[in-house]
Amino acid sequence: MNLLTNLFYFILLFINPLTVYSYDVILHNETEPGFKIYKVLSYRDGITVVHLVKPINESCIEPRIDLRILHPNGTIDSAKVDYPIPEYNFCLGPHRYYWFDINRSLPRSINILYLDIASASYYVLSITRSGYVLSNTYVAPISIINGSIYADGYLTTHTSEECGFMFANYETENIVMWKYFSRPDDKGNFSLLNEGRHYLQSSSNYYFIFPSIDGNFGIVNANSTDINIKSNEFINPSKFTFKVYVSFIKPVMESVDGPFLIYQSAIPHFELDFFCDTAFSGIGNTCLLMFNRAEDKNTSEVIKLSFQTSGSVFDMRKLGDKFVNAEIVTFNGLFQGGYLITLRDNQRKTIEGIILDNDGKYNGTWGFPPGLKSSGSFGVTASLNGSLRLVTFENEMTLKISFTTLPKFFSNDQGYENPHIKSTYPSIDSSIPLSITNINITYHLSVTISTNNVSIYQYINNDDIPILRQFVPGNSPYFSYSSDKKTINMKVLESTFNQPNSNYYIVIDGNMVRDWKSNNPLLGVVRNRWKFNTINIQDNFAEESIGRFSLTEEGTKSFEKLSLDGRRGFLSQLRIDLAKSIPVDINRLDYIKCCEYDYSQKPPRILLSLPIKSTTSPHERNVDHIIKDLDILIKHKEVTPISWFGTTNNLEASFGFRRYKNLLDDFKFHLIGIVIGIVILGFLYFYAKKKYPLGENIVIFKFPLIILNFIMSIMFILNNGKNVPQLFIPSIIFCVIPTIINFVMGVIIMLQEIKKNRYFYEWFKNNVDIASLFTILSGANLEMLNILSSQVAGIMLFNAPLSEVIQFYIFWGSFIGFFINDVPRFIIQVFYIKLVVNYDIIPFLTLSTSSIILANNIISKIYHAIIHLYSKKRKSIMILQNKKISCNLANENSSITVPRKIRKTVK
């Protein structure tokens, strides 16, 4: 049998004569004998952690966690985990597995799964790579099946740092319970994101879980008739049917695709085992099926299956006719392409490695000497940069780490650690201007947008927690294609790259894009690979200002329910979260002030005010830019950090962040212009008064005031009317209808005067154009017709001889217009100023002119009434005096004798 094995490897090497890879060795002396290698963990930053165990007997190991940390520079540190994990975890359970599991937790920690029988629970101990305990978290209850503890739970960590990890365990004999947890933060805390159940095809089927590129997890299991998978019991070969299924758990969506049948056979088999992994540089996923034929217990057969996430198998091949006494220990997809199979020969106590290319074809051995001796325990790990590390014991006291370089199966990587990416904008290590609004990624093949995210981070150095600036899901309208579908363009908000001289990197999740032809998810780009920086520019100084923002309807209701201390705590945390979202020094943001209500929103929402302090540093964002950034962040909160915090997520996106406008500050130039205009009108008035004192020269002020008010009313409707929906229709009604009424009345008055006043008709014949113009202007205010007879500055053009009857009609017509025009417009403006947050120059001028015209009309009508009453009273007195004189004369004629001369005169 050994001869057949050696012959097989000799034939492979003869057919594929490849270069023998050189390797380096590091030796580490232990302080005590008896250690065995349990697991080797490799990280993206080049650090390798070796977990050592020390057997006590055939069933138990010493209850401790010993770690060896191998750094990229070749130094090795020792560490122990100081935590009281119950000792029974370090003994083999009924299924010959230890009750604890250790696995890496990207990017820089380790998770240790263990049991606590006292509380009937699984826990996960999160530690640093140097053994420091970060947290201890309950994850699931222990399963009791048929009256016994069924503790075969284990952890599966995703290959992406952006994804979390999965815990799986039998809940019953045919149900696998799974829970998906978030990626631990810097303090080791993680949370349960989702959970579900996977139903096996038959009881106690063996299953295997592996991470998929798209952020999901594949679960492979087999079922058969008349045999027990992973057992030594064969029952009835004549009725044998063997099937392998794969399903894909989508933990975020709590759904499962599958099961998909990927292999079946009617040939009896004795024992089955399988390993699965994803193709990092290729397409799809790959599983190795390892089984022994029933007629020969000493023969093994290995089949490699490649399948898509849809369950479609696109490649199946045997990797050799027979593996004799060779146990496959590991099967891993490699980041540089291809696959690594690690074999252990239990008889010869040697280990071997076989490398397959992307198509699953034999490529060569792993670069270490064939038949490398092993004392029984070893560990193999491949780092991201293509370095293979083999950890063995040279002797009882010496740990041996061997290094070699794996072959690359793609040569077009541009630093993204993704063979599919050809180029990007911005390129790696480039400098970009501030506030660019577009990035793009060009692939070697045609792609289609999928569902996962592109995330943009800002960082100070690699040890600090990055700041998320923008994230965009694949199904967002922010993306567009080039014509050949090889370039993906993504819209970027102006607030994203807003910090000068700052470092950024972009993360592309796996399954952000898919291969156009096969629809299989493609690898993304991990953090700290696509890195670049913004240029260093100086910002102009801007004075401090105040901005306002609104809570959502739900946020308003929640805030109103809080106690006084709760409101203070919410506003304090909101200020902190806003500073993180911009980002800006929190001292630049003053304390948030509460509370006003915005009645233009239905139902009314709470408004908050945030003062922003200025800075004298030219390298910090000025106040104007901070206000603009906050407005963008809130309006697009679905793709910005605003939606990530519990406080800022309550901000109303449609409102944004608006500068609080101070009339004196914001409209000072407009006000200066108005004052200059009034001064000019004043000079014209005094000039007209001096030239012709008897004219109604006051029309120099009244005419522009009426015209300005009419124009502002129209501009208010067009520009600001919809800001308060409930005032929009009334604004139109009380502008259009009075204008029509005034115009019709003006036309009637002019026609009546032309018809009945021959002196006006003579004037009209000589001044048709001016008469037509003021007839039209009478639609703004009927009193515009009085200007025709005002004789302002003695101008003969304004010397129309209007009759007293027509002036009477104009007076009462303007009196009616006072109630249907001036008063409603003023009321609308008063309501508007109460219902809006930002008050603009147009409503300000409209309210100002309406107020002046309204006050003028009220006072002028009062004065006209006083004059009318005074004239009527004076006329009555004169009549009474005339009657008294007549009576006196009559009395005198009857009682005295008047001289003839006088009597004659009187007569």
- Kindly report, residue by residue over 491-526, the tens digit of the pLDDT: 999 999 999 999 999 999 888 898 888 888 888 888
Digit-coded pLDDT (tens) for 145-154: 887 888 788 8
Residue 23 phi, psi dihedral angles, 5° rounding: -145, 160
The rounded radius of gyration (Å) of the Cα atoms in the chain is 45
CATH 3.30.70 domain range(s) in the chain: 545-660
Tell which residue, 132, 146, 144, has the closest CA to residue 169: 144
The H or E element that residue 755 is part of is: helix 725-756
How high is the pLDDT of residue 70? 92
What is the pLDDT confidence band of residue 475, given thresholds at 50, 70 and 90? confident
Q: 896: which DSSP letter?
A: S
Digit-coded pLDDT (tens) for 725-752: 778 888 888 889 989 998 998 899 888 8
Digit-coded pLDDT (tens) for 394-420: 888 888 888 888 888 776 678 888 888
Digit-coded pLDDT (tens) for 529-588: 899 999 988 877 778 888 999 999 999 999 999 999 999 999 999 999 999 999 999 999
Map 820-833 to HEC letters.
Answer: HHHHHHHHHHHHHH
Tell which residue, 97, 98, 23, 35, has the closest CA to residue 68: 35
Q: Which 3 state secondary structure label does DSSP give 676?
A: helix
CATH architecture classification, 421-534: Sandwich (2.60)
- Give CA–CA dist 400/398, Å, rounded: 6
At residue 438, does pLDDT exceed 80? yes
How high is the pLDDT of residue 846? 82
Please report, rounded to a whole number, the percentage of residues in the chain having pLDDT higher than 90.
Answer: 26
What DSSP string runs through 106-146?
TTTEEEEEEEETTTTEEEEEEEETTS-EEEEEEEEEPEEET
- Give CA–CA dist 305/316, Å, rounded: 5
| H runs (alpha helix) in 516-656 | 553-561, 564-581, 623-635
Q: Which of 175-189, 660-674, 801-815 has the lowest mean pLDDT?
A: 660-674
Residue located via tokens 């417009």 = 825
What is the pLDDT confidence band of residue 882, given thresholds at 50, 70 and 90? low
Q: Which 3 state secondary structure label does DSSP give 101?
A: strand
Q: Any idea which fold 545-660 has? A: Alpha-Beta Plaits (3.30.70)
The sign one gets for the Cα dihedral 868, 873, 877, 882 is positive
More confident residue, 868 or 888: 868
Beta bridge partners of 904: none
Tokens matching residue 809: 């009609």
How high is the pLDDT of residue 774? 87
Q: Which of 197-206, 401-410, 591-600 has the lowest mean pLDDT?
A: 197-206
What is the pLDDT confidence band of residue 859, given thresholds at 50, 70 and 90? confident
How high is the pLDDT of residue 898? 38
- Give CA–CA dist 419/429, Å, rounded: 19
Across 31-56, average pLDDT: 90
Across 137-150, average pLDDT: 86
Digit-coded pLDDT (tens) for 154-199: 899 888 877 889 999 988 888 889 999 988 877 788 889 889 888 8
Residue environment code for 582-612, b if the CB has 16+ CB neighbours within 10 A, otherwise e: bbbeeebbeebebeeebbbbeeebbbbbbbb
Residue type, 129: R
The sign one gets for the Cα dihedral 462, 466, 471, 473 is positive
Tokens matching residue 79: 């560490």
Across 711-726, average pLDDT: 82
CATH 2.60.40.1220 domain range(s) in the chain: 421-534
